[in-house]
């Protein structure tokens, strides 16, 4: 489903140059649940954003569900992300001028789901994540933990084939974290492919394979 070959990503120039991802080769099969682990700064988030087609400034070749991403123009790349990927950002990236319910609706509008069905799916997600009381709240008024839950809900609401999650439980209580991991596991069993970045061995234990990174390289 995902094949990365000789992927390199460099930030900055001269003294500021950082080789964030170095010669990475990685295969993720359909139905895999892969965990990327490694020390802070080793390139995990950078690699995940490449997989999610959120970054285009890398070299190498990348095939995603049969499409050669390295040949795609930005619009096509974004379309592929919207059609297939649910992404949980480490820093949530919620839209500040939209309410919680409106944030959850965004991925559904990309998929051209009709209004009544959209409302039903939003209500269901709010209920599932215990976010009903916050539906009219704006992200800026919410705690980090609640924003993280909204971010997870938004990532999965459109039932994406691929879930990419960057430290998805970093701001949650351990019982909430376990619930999110159990949810990912259920979605994975139902066919979703999952790639998560985490420091937590507990979270990693929900996946079926762990990939270690160090200094930009996959070990």
Chain positions contacting ligand ADP, by CB under 6 A: 11-12, 18, 20, 38, 40-46
CB of residue 30 vs ligand ADP: minimum separation in angstroms? 25
Minimum distance from residue 42 beta carbon to ligand ADP (Å): 4
- Which residue, 180 or 218, is less far from ligand ADP as judged by CB? 218
CB of 18 to ligand ADP, least distance (A): 5
Output the smallest distance, CB 129 to ligand ADP, in A: 25
Between 101 and 164, name the residue whose CB sits nearer to ligand ADP. Answer: 164
DSSP for the chain, written as a single string: -EEEEEEEEEESSGGG-EEEEEEEEEEE-TT-EEEEE-STTSSHHHHHHHHTT-----EEEEEETTEEGGG--HHHHHHHHHHHEEEE-TT----TTS-HHHHHHHHHHHTT--HHHHHHHHHHHHHHTT-GGGTT--GGGS-HHHHHHHHHHHHHTT--SEEEEESTTTTS-HHHHHHHHHHHHHHHHTT-EEEEE-S-HHHHTTSSEEEEEETTEE-
Shorter beta-carbon distance to ligand ADP: residue 142 or 197:
197
Q: Which is nearer to ligand ADP, 38 or 151 (CB)?
A: 38
């Amino acid at each position: 489903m995902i094949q990365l070959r000789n992927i390199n990503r460099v930030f900055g120039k001269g003294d500021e140059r950082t080789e964030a991802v170095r010669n990475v080769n990685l295969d993720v099969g359909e139905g895999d649940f892969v965990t990327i682990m490694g020390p802070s700064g080793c390139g995990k988030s950078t690699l995940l954003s490449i997989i999610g087609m959120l970054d285009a400034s890398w070299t190498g070749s990348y095939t995603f569900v049969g499409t050669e991403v390295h040949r795609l123009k930005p619009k096509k790349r974004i379309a592929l992300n919207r059609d297939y990927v649910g992404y949980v950002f480490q820093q949530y990236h919620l839209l500040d001028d939209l309410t919680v319910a409106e944030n959850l609706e965004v991925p559904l509008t990309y998929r051209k789901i009709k209004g009544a069905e959209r409302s039903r799916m939003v209500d269901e997600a709010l209920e599932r994540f215990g976010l009903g009381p916050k539906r009219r709240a704006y992200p800026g008024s919410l705690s980090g933990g609640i924003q993280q839950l909204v971010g997870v809900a938004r990532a999965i609401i459109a039932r994406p084939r691929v879930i990419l999650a960057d430290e998805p439980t970093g701001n949650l209580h351990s019982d909430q974290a376990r619930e999110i991991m159990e949810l990912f596991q259920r979605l994975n069993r139902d066919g979703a492919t999952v790639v998560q970045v985490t420091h937590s061995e507990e979270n990693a234990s929900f996946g079926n394979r762990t990939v270690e990174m160090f200094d930009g390289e996959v070990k």
